[in-house]
Amino acid sequence: MLNTVEFLDSLRNVMDKNAEHFKGFSGNYDFIANNFVSCLHDYYKTVQPPSTTVDQALDVVSLSMANSLRAGNSFYNCLADAVVQFATIVSLGMQPAFTGTIAAPNLLNFSTVLMIPLKPEFDSQRITAILNIIHTWTSLCIAVNNNTGSVILWK
């Protein structure tokens, strides 16, 4: 079962300036990417049906996100790409029992988060919005049972 409580805690640790374990943003793209992709890793390791490729996605997606940030792409575009890449790799690991299919990438949209002020008092609202967007999108991903043909949503 996708663990949104643990995912929210992970996001708070890397984003909320008031969190006990706030890591801050040092301007180091590898640091930023590694922290966010680690949150995705912790979230997707709880996906059902289970995937054998969650751990492999960690390094691949971290490097891709860091390179995308380095190239000057916006953080939220990089985050959306990282979620899509991570979910794609996770879907491959559902074989042979299931064929995983991700939701349409254009449905993963962080534009509402951009409307939340970048002030510390809005950190909690911003973090919750990011979690809700990622979780809602992930909940639209499907898996087809390769024996029965039945379709289930990722959960």
* Dihedral (CA of 142, 34, 17, 76) sign: negative
Name the band, by pLDDT with cuts 50, 70 and 90, for residue 2.
confident
**pLDDT tens string 63-96:** 999 999 999 999 999 999 999 999 999 999 999 9
Angle between helices 75-92 and 29-44 (to 10 degrees): 40
Residue-wise pLDDT for 119-154, tens only, equals 888 989 999 999 999 999 999 999 999 999 999 999
Cβ(3)–Cβ(47) below 8 Å: no
- Convert the pLDDT of each residue in 20-47 to its tens digit: 555 666 678 998 899 999 999 999 999 9
Phi/psi at 152 (nearest 5 deg)?
Answer: -130, 155
Q: If you search the block for the tokens 């990417």, which residue do you land on?
A: 33
- pLDDT value of residue 21: 56
